[in-house]
C-alpha cells in the first residue's frame, strides 16, 4: 500500500532527577554533599532512508517516545542519558506542525536528520547548591520534561521526470516499457491509483521517472484525488505530457491538453512553468496516425517538442528518451551554473 501522508505524535524523554546524597565514609563524619546530576532525556529524530518508499509503517504506529534520562546517584555519579527514538521515513518527506501547518523540515537527502522534539535536561544534584552558608544542602532539581508535538508527515516523490496525462492515456504502459517498474495496467480509467517510480537508463545516462495517476478537470480542487497526485510533480525537473490519440477514443486530445494545463497552472504557477515534452500516445493504428497527422500543426504550435509514441510496439520510444536525456542534461547544467549575476 502506498501511503503518502500520516499524523504522528512524538514525545522526547524527560530529564533524570538530580540526586540528594552525602558522602558517608569511615572516619569522615561530615563528608558533604555528593549527589550527581540526572541524565538528559532522549531526542526524537526523523531520519530519511532510501530503503523506504512509503509512510505505511507510521500509519500503524503513531506514538513515538524517546527514553527518559536516568536519575543521578551518590559519589557525584551522573545518570545515563536516555536513548534517542529514531523514526525512519522515505527521502522526500515534509515534516509539518499538525496544529499550525508550518513546514518544519524538508528532507530531500538520504540520511538527513531532523529533531522535532528534544529531550529534557537532567536535574542538578545537591552538590551544586553547596555554599559557605549551607554546607549540607538538601536540594536537588527534578529533570526537565521532554518536548512533545503532533506532526503531519507528507511524502512528495523525488523524480527527474513526471509522466502526466488524463486517465487511460498510456502512462503506466510507458513506464513499464522503459523501466523496471511494474504498475497495474488495464483498459479502463484510474487503473493507477498511486504513483509509480522507475529508473530509466539511456546509454550511460539514467534518470528517475514517476508515473502520476490520471488527472481530470478540477484536480487542483481535489477531484479524483487530484491534489494528492499533483503534489508529486512539484519536485520533478521535467514533465512528459501524454495525449491519447488512440483510434477508439472519442475524446479530443488537444482539449484534454488545455484542461490539464489549466489544472497545473491553478495548482502551482511554478509547476505550470516547468519544461514539458508532448508525447501523443497509442499511434500504432492507422486511424490514430491519421488523427495525429491532422493535428500536427496545432501540436507544434503548442510545444515544439512533440514525440509521438506507441508503448505497445515501441515506436518513437527511443527518440522520446533521448530528448528527455538532452533536456535533463541542459537543466542540470543550468542548475550547476546557478543564477547569473548582473555585471557591475
Asked whether the predicted pLDDT for residue 147 surpasses 90, the reply is yes
pLDDT tens digits, 209-266: 888 775 645 544 444 444 566 777 777 888 998 888 887 777 788 888 888 888 888 8
The rounded mean pLDDT for the chain is: 82
Asked whether the predicted pLDDT for residue 18 surpasses 50, the reply is yes
Asked whether the predicted pLDDT for residue 28 surpasses 60, the reply is yes
Q: What's the fold here for domain 161-337?
A: Rossmann fold (3.40.50)
Task: Reply yes or no on domain 5-155 having CATH 3.20.20.80.
Answer: no
Q: Which of 42-56, 183-197, 250-264, 267-281 has the lowest average pLDDT?
A: 183-197
Q: Which of 81-85, 120-124, 314-318 has the lowest average pLDDT?
A: 314-318
Say what the pLDDT of residue 219 is.
45
Say what the pLDDT of residue 225 is.
45
The answer to whether the beta carbons of residues 162 and 154 sit under 8 Å apart is no
Residues of the chain with CATH 2.70.210.12: 5-155
Asked whether the predicted pLDDT for residue 183 surpasses 50, the reply is no
The answer to whether the beta carbons of residues 320 and 207 sit under 8 Å apart is no
Report which of residues 333 and 322 the model is more confident about: 322
DSSP 117-168: EPPPPPPPPGGGG--SS-SS----PPPPPPPEEEEEEEE----SEEEE-STT
With bands split at pLDDT 50, 70 and 90, how would you rate the model's confidence at 181?
low
Taking residues 40-50, report their average pLDDT: 93
Task: For residue 326, count other CB atoms closer than 10 A to its CB.
Answer: 13
Q: Which of 13-27, 61-75, 174-188, 246-260 has the lowest average pLDDT?
A: 174-188
Residues of the chain with CATH 3.40.50.300: 161-337
Asked whether the predicted pLDDT for residue 26 surpasses 90, the reply is no
The three cell numbers of residue 81 are 542519558
Taking residues 79-86, report their average pLDDT: 94
Asked whether the predicted pLDDT for residue 191 surpasses 50, the reply is no
Sign (positive or negative) of CA dihedral 5, 271, 111, 94: negative
Say what the pLDDT of residue 180 is.
66
Cα–Cα distance for residue pair 301/210, rounded to 1 Å: 27
User: Environment class of residue 298 by beta-carbon count within 10 Å: exposed (0-12), middle (13-18) or buried (19+)?
Assistant: exposed
Q: How many CA within 13 A on the CB side of residue 162?
A: 27
Cα–Cα distance for residue pair 23/310, rounded to 1 Å: 85
Amino acid at each position: 500500500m502506498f501511503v503518502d501522508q500520516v499524523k504522528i505524535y512524538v514525545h522526547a524523554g524527560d530529564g533524570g532527577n538530580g540526586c540528594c546524597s552525602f558522602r558517608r565514609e569511615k572516619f569522615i563524619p561530615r563528608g558533604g554533599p555528593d549527589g550527581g546530576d540526572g541524565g538528559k532525556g532522549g531526542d526524537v529524530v526523523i531520519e530519511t532512508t532510501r530503503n523506504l518508499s512509503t509512510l505505511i509503517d507510521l500509519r500503524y504506529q503513531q506514538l513515538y517516545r524517546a527514553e527518559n534520562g536516568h536519575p543521578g546517584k551518590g559519589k557525584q555519579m551522573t545518570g545515563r542519558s536516555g536513548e534517542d527514538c529514531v523514526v525512519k521515513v522515505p527521502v522526500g518527506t515534509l515534516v509539518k506542525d499538525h496544529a499550525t501547518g508550518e513546514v518544519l523540515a524538508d528532507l530531500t537527502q538520504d540520511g538527513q536528520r531532523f529533531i522535532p522534539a528534544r529531550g529534557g535536561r537532567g536535574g542538578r544534584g545537591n552538590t551544586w547548591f553547596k555554599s559557605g552558608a549551607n554546607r549540607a544542602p538538601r536540594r536537588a532539581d527534578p529533570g526537565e520534561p521532554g518536548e512533545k508535538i503532533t506532526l503531519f508527515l507528507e511524502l512528495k516523490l523525488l523524480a527527474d521526470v513526471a509522466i502526466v496525462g488524463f486517465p487511460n492515456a498510456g502512462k503506466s504502459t510507458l513506464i513499464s516499457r522503459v523501466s523496471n517498474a511494474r504498475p497495474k495496467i488495464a483498459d479502463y480509467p484510474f487503473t493507477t491509483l498511486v504513483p509509480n517510480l522507475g529508473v530509466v537508463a539511456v546509454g550511460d545516462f539514467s534518470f528517475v521517472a514517476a508515473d502520476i495517476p490520471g488527472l481530470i478537470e478540477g484536480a487542483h480542487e481535489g477531484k479524483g484525488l487530484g491534489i494528492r497526485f499533483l503534489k508529486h510533480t512539484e519536485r520533478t525537473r521535467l514533465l512528459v505530457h501524454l495525449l491519447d490519440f488512440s483510434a477508439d477514443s472519442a475524446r479530443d486530445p488537444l482539449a484534454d491538453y488545455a484542461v490539464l494545463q489549466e489544472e497545473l497552472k491553478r495548482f502551482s504557477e511554478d509547476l505550470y512553468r516547468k519544461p514539458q515534452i508532448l508525447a501523443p500516445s497509442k499511434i500504432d493504428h492507422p486511424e490514430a496516425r491519421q488523427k495525429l497527422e491532422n493535428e500536427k500543426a496545432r501540436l507544434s504550435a503548442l510545444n515544439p517538442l512533440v514525440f509521438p509514441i506507441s508503448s505497445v510496439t515501441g515506436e518513437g520510444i527511443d527518440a522520446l528518451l533521448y530528448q528527455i536525456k538532452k533536456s535533463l542534461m541542459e537543466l542540470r547544467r543550468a542548475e550547476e551554473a546557478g543564477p547569473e549575476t548582473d555585471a557591475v
